[in-house]
Structure 1
Amino acid sequence: MAGVSSCIKYSMFVFNFLFWVCGSIILGVSIWIRVSGAQQGMDSGMLAGVNLLIAVGSIIMVLGFLGCCGAVRESRCMLMLFFIGLLLIVILQVTGGILGAVYKSQVELALNLTLTANMEALQSTTGAEKEYQETFQKFERENQCCGLLNGAEDWGKNFNKPASKICECELENPSSSDLCTKYQGRYIYKKPCGEVIMKILKDNLAIIMGISFGLAVIEILGLVFSMTLYCQIRRK
């Protein structure tokens, strides 16, 4: 009977040890963020994301442990559990990536609805949204844009406040720049910030999908290693 290939065995061990280390790092960092975030009053939505990372880190650690022990001890049971767990993760990743690619066009619609809802915050004159307005003005200056969807109109009455520099074009020659336009006697940035946000979102979505498919390729190698080793042990 054919023996177990040492190359496959130790390649499987190294692969899963690195897998386990990655899971440990994700879990450790996530727990640290969770604890410090809870103490500092982190938003519940962000905490939910951190909790998800804790779960992901834990699952990766368990799979890495199963893979390492299965390879070293030549345990078919552990290798099969590792294979099934990793296969489910690959299926979920690929499904998520495909759905992201298919529904990428709908991201713009969802974002527009969100931006429309946020216009009220820009137009608020009560002071309740002052922090948000100041943060958004900083975003406008950094990205040379104005408003959310309709430019300066999105600011409502706040645009004409005394000494207001909302959307103000800070270029040396705003009249000769394609980035600026004249509105109510002032030069302001022409591009709505919604376009900038959409570009950032689409770029990040493409990166996430790329990473997802890249990880899937690596995980498929793990599946091949584990099943090859499983079959060799079975024939032993």
Structure 2
Amino acid sequence: MSLEGGMKCVKYMLFFFNFIFWLCGLALIVVGILVQMSLHSTLMISDASASGAPIVIIAVGVVIFFIAFFGCCGAWKESYCMVTMFAILLSLVIIVQIAAAIAGYVFRNKVSDVVQDSLADMISRYSNSSAEFKAGVDAMQEDLKCCGVNNSSDWRSFQPDETSVPDSCCLNVSTNCGVGAMTDSAKVYQEGCRSAVEDLLRKNIQWVIIAALVLALVEIMGVVFACVLMRGIRSGYEVM
């Protein structure tokens, strides 16, 4: 059985859309990984709820990556069963993506509390943690040009003198530059990391939400093309 006329056009359109899906799946994987790395490596966010949306996005990206090949084969071979399965799987993926976008939006309202708790935990663990953990905290403070949670005084328990901060808090980082300089604005950043981390985290979550919703719209068009192609294939079989 071979499709003719408009159905052939739909067939090639579906094949083209599957190539786009393949690229979008790859893009979702990259976006999800970058956000996850930013949460736990750059921002040192340890709250498990923060990982929900990016992990779902990575999983959806992997699924789409493989579904796209399945859809291409179904369209090329004009297989009613394969195209039907493709449409069903893609519909399920759309539902999951919308759920991930909603979860990301809900998490945005928890950002302030999560950041406060994570940064406070970061400071309390700093002195007794591994060199890798300290390097991560130092890198965050240097990159964001901040010190402590709300201000530099959050490091009061860092040293017995209660006036010292990690060297990464210094405007110009050098060995022991933070000793006794907690309230010295000429040497140490006085603003805490909370607001900077919140802003960066919200931007990351926003990109996850945008990626999920934009791809969902594209996928809906793919489902429509798949349904039209299914109808054309079935009509061809009925004529035969």
TM-score (norm 2): 0.68
Provide Cα deviations, 1:1-29, integer angstroms capped at 9, x if missing partner: x86621111111222244346668999xx
Amino acid at match of 2:93: I
Kept after mapping to 2: 8 A contact 1:151/1:190: yes
Q: Spell out the pairing of 1:40-119 with structure 2 (5 A cutoff).
A: 56=60, 59-119=63-123
Q: Which residue of 1 aligns with 2:229?
A: 229
Moved more, 101-110 or 214-223: 101-110
Separation in 2 of the partners of 1:55 and 1:184? Answer: 46
Amino acid at match of 1:141: E
Amino acid at match of 2:231: C
Q: Which residue of 1 aligns with 2:170?
A: 168
| Corresponding residue SS for 1:189 | coil
Shift of 1:206: 0.5
Kept after mapping to 2: 8 A contact 1:140/1:146: yes
| Pair 133,71 (structure 1): closer, same or farther in 2 beyond 3 Å | closer
Q: Which residue of 1 aligns with 2:189?
A: 189
Q: Which residue of 2 aligns with 1:121?
A: 125
Separation in 2 of the partners of 1:88 and 1:164? Answer: 49
Separation in 1 of the partners of 2:61 and 2:210? Answer: 20
Q: Which residue of 2 aligns with 1:137?
A: 138
Task: Say what the alpha-carbon RMSD is for the aligned residues.
Answer: 3.6
| Pair 20,200 (structure 1): closer, same or farther in 2 beyond 3 Å | closer
Note the residue ranges of structure 1 that are not aligned, 5 or more in a row. Answer: 28-44, 46-50, 172-181
Shift of 1:113: 1.8
Separation in 1 of the partners of 2:168 and 2:95? Answer: 48
Provide Cα deviations, 1:83-121, integer angstroms capped at 9, x if missing partner: 010000000001110222133111221222222222212
Q: Which residue of 2 aligns with 1:41?
A: none
Provide Cα deviations, 1:23-65, integer angstroms capped at 9, x if missing partner: 68999xxxxxxxxxxxxxxxxx9xxxxx988865653344223
Q: Spell out the pairing of 1:15-26 with structure 2 (5 A cutoff).
A: 15-20=17-22
Shift of 1:210: 0.6
Aligned residues: 201
Amino acid at match of 1:222: G
Separation in 2 of the partners of 1:119 and 1:165? Answer: 14
Amino acid at match of 1:218: V
Separation in 1 of the partners of 2:57 and 2:216? Answer: 18
| Pair 196,24 (structure 1): closer, same or farther in 2 beyond 3 Å | closer
Provide Cα deviations, 1:144-173, integer angstroms capped at 9, x if missing partner: 211123423325233645x964522349xx
Identity %: 30
Provide Cα deviations, 1:188-231, integer angstroms capped at 9, x if missing partner: 21221122111111111011111111111111111111011111
Moved more, 216-225 or 136-145: 136-145
TM-score (norm 1): 0.69
